[in-house]
Amino acid sequence: MKIITTKAELQELTLSLKQQKTIGFVPTMGYLHEGHRALLKEARKENDILILSVFVNPLQFGPNEDLESYPRDIEQDKLTAKNEGVDYLFMPSTEEMYPSTPSVTVHVQKRADVLCGRTRPGHFDGVATVLTKLFHLVQPDNVYFGKKDAQQVAVVDGLIKDFHFPITLHAVQTVREEDGLAKSSRNVKLSPEERQEAGILYQTLSMAREELIKGNHDIRAITDSLRKRLETITSGKVDYLEILTYPELQEPIHWEGTLIIAVAVRFTNARLIDNIIFDLHEMVIGKGASTCSEQ
């Protein structure tokens, strides 16, 4: 595995590789966990060359958010990358990626004003801007994101399509703990008591899915009831609990196709997100609510 820290070296490399190799790319902010490893394993299987980036992107942090306290472990990230068969690890500095105040940034007009985007203005603009930079540098054939960050996947889907990037987007299944809690770098900030409560998020999403499959389409009643449940049996504060179409992230009208049930809960030092994405029509036909795996 080779570590690259400059844009020029990365671009020179990928321009030569792309002539005869397929490139898989996993962009991350580091502090790699099992969820990231799942992305790397998938990309390793499907491409000749695997490139991983580790860069904590300041553009996607708001003025009161946790940029400085965002967890970092550079040496462990290097070891994980090597163990997962990464060919090239791109680890630029902030100055390398943003040598001056940007004269141009990307503004996300759709899919960004709901869920996390509602209370994090500019966050997905920062995501889209850094990904545009990285896509141009890496020139990947395939790019891999986790379904846990489903809104991000929807935004990236729009970015790739609208800017005509010749890239295939792969959304990889959420990796979970035994109690259903989605793997996240922020889980380490939970107290022991909060960690016990956190598994209830996925249970609550599953309950909402059961209601929809049974034919209950009263979104307000479902979400109000389950929000109250979360705030009664956990110490967390619910930021949102929403049911939308996916990847459009709009209010359902015709009750067919793919839906997302998404939740965000704020604990003392960590804000956790999770979701279930599923095809309502297929679930109703199969009556598989209790046995269907998350999509």
Give me the active site residues, please.
36
Q: Is 136 annotated as a binding residue?
A: no
Q: Which run of H or E residues covers position 276?
A: strand 271-279
Residue 215 annotated in ligand binding: no
CA distances from 32 to 4, 50, 123 (A): 18, 16, 21
Asked whether residue 110 is marked as a ligand-binding residue, the answer is no
Residue 75 gets which letter from DSSP? Answer: H
Q: Has 183 been labeled as part of a binding site? A: yes
Residue 126 is labelled as binding a ligand: no
Instruction: Give the alpha-carbon dihedral of 282, 294, 275, 284, to 10 degrees.
Output: 20
User: Is residue 36 a known part of a binding site?
Assistant: yes
Q: Could you please report the per-residue DSSP string of 153-190?
A: HHHHHHHHHHTT---EEEEEPPPB-TTSPBP-GGGGGS
Q: Is 179 a known ligand-binding residue?
A: no
Q: Is 180 annotated to bind ligand?
A: no
CB-CB contact of 202 with 184 (8 Å):
no
Per the annotation, does 147 bind a ligand? yes
Q: Binding-site residues for (R)-pantoate, please?
A: 60, 152
Q: Binding-site residues for beta-alanine, please?
A: 60
Q: Binding-site residues for ATP, please?
A: 29-36, 146-149, 175, 183-186
Q: Binding-site residues, please?
A: 29-36, 60, 146-149, 152, 175, 183-186
